[in-house]
Structure 1
Amino acid sequence: NYTPRISGIMHVENGKFSYAMSILKSNNGNPDGCNRYTFAYETPAAGEARFIHTYMNDGNPLPSFEGEPELVDVVDDIDEYTKLLWESLNADNKVSLFVRYINIADGTYETRIVNKHQD
């Protein structure tokens, strides 16, 4: 499998924010080509988030994520939200998860990282 690479960035400034996400993946399983997709959200609504993952489902080879990142609701507790996200991932394919809550007003943040190889 040619595992897609996912990235994201948030811009937080003066009580406002925007963000962008991207995925780089092989050209339909062909390693001779690289497809790059970027999704920018300049005025996101409060309480909404986008979720992008590596694979669509199980298969051989594993099919890469397709389409725009999925719209999801945000739970207002980082530990509860981290648990919800982790438990929603496919048990056979999940490896790690990064979750960050940012207070847009003052820029403070909390981070959670889950790795299936660590308790």
Structure 2
Amino acid sequence: MQDLCKLLRGNPYPGRGIVVGRGCAYYWIMGRSANSRNRVFTLTEDGIRTEAHDPGKMEDPSLIIYHPVRRMGGDLVVTNGDQTDTIVQAGDLWAGCRTRTYEPDAPNFTPRISAVIHEDGGFELAILKRDPASASGRCLRELFFYEAADEGVGYFVSTYQTDGDPLPSFAGEPVAVTLPSPDELWDALDKDNKVSLYANVRGTVTLYNKNLGD
């Protein structure tokens, strides 16, 4: 098991990230471009959405404005894109992810990462990414099921391994990590590239937005 904060402090750009564990869900966004950095998290009736901090500076909203977190009955859905709505409409993580693919943002082909946390404490994680061995751009759909997690343990996935050009996609299974407090996690994210953080710890939701002075 690895120290999540140590992993993040040594990584300038993991991109968007999800961490889920017992009674805990974290989701953050980062940005390198002005358009990606011009965002905040806001609360909605059943979760959160991304919004432009300065609407007058918003350029293409297609891949950066979405609902990262929504309720699906008694379950909680957390994703890095508009597949949140697809999963909620399907009522199931795998059913939703079977209809989607990675993001069309060549040359990065950003993976879609998604999680569903169930009422009974179990959870699922999915990664949709471009197969690097496929000339046609075939999508790899990886799904991981967890009956539960030990206290203080989370499972971490991100869109990228680190900074680069093009950005290298996340590889391997979700990483078992220690669960920090929301403040510790926010402080561990790169100060130049972090944008917003959603923290849900045993039902208590905290939002961090760099553009609002957090």
CA RMSD of aligned residues (A): 2.5
> Aligned residues, how many?
105
1:47 counterpart residue number: 152
SS at match of 1:32: coil
2:119 counterpart residue number: 12
SS at match of 1:84: helix
1:87 counterpart residue number: 187
Matched-pair contact (CA < 8 Å) for 1:2–1:31? no
TM-score by length of 1: 0.71
Structure 1 residues 89 and 67, CA gap change in structure 2 (3 angstroms): farther
What is the aligned counterpart of 1:73 among 178, 187, 197? Answer: 178
**1 CA distance for matches of 2:196 and 2:132?**
24
Deviating more after overlay: 91-100 vs 60-69: 91-100
The one-letter code sitting in structure 1 at the alignment partner of 2:208 is V
2:206 counterpart residue number: 112
SS at match of 1:20: strand
Higher helix share: 2
**1 CA distance for matches of 2:136 and 2:164?**
17
**2 CA distance for matches of 1:8 and 1:62?**
22
The one-letter code sitting in structure 1 at the alignment partner of 2:129 is K
Structure 1 residues 93 and 73, CA gap change in structure 2 (3 angstroms): same
1:61 counterpart residue number: 166
C-alpha deviation, 1:52, in angstroms: 1.0
Ranked by relative contact order (alpha carbons within 8 Å, sequence separation 6 or more), the top structure is: 2
**1 CA distance for matches of 2:200 and 2:136?**
32
SS at match of 1:87: helix
TM-score by length of 2: 0.43
C-alpha deviation, 1:118, in angstroms: 3.9
SS at match of 1:111: strand
The unaligned stretches of length 5 or more in structure 2 are 1-107
The unaligned stretches of length 5 or more in structure 1 are 76-80, 103-108
The one-letter code sitting in structure 2 at the alignment partner of 1:3 is T
The one-letter code sitting in structure 1 at the alignment partner of 2:126 is S
Matched-pair contact (CA < 8 Å) for 1:48–1:73? yes
Higher strand share: 1
C-alpha deviation, 1:2, in angstroms: 1.7
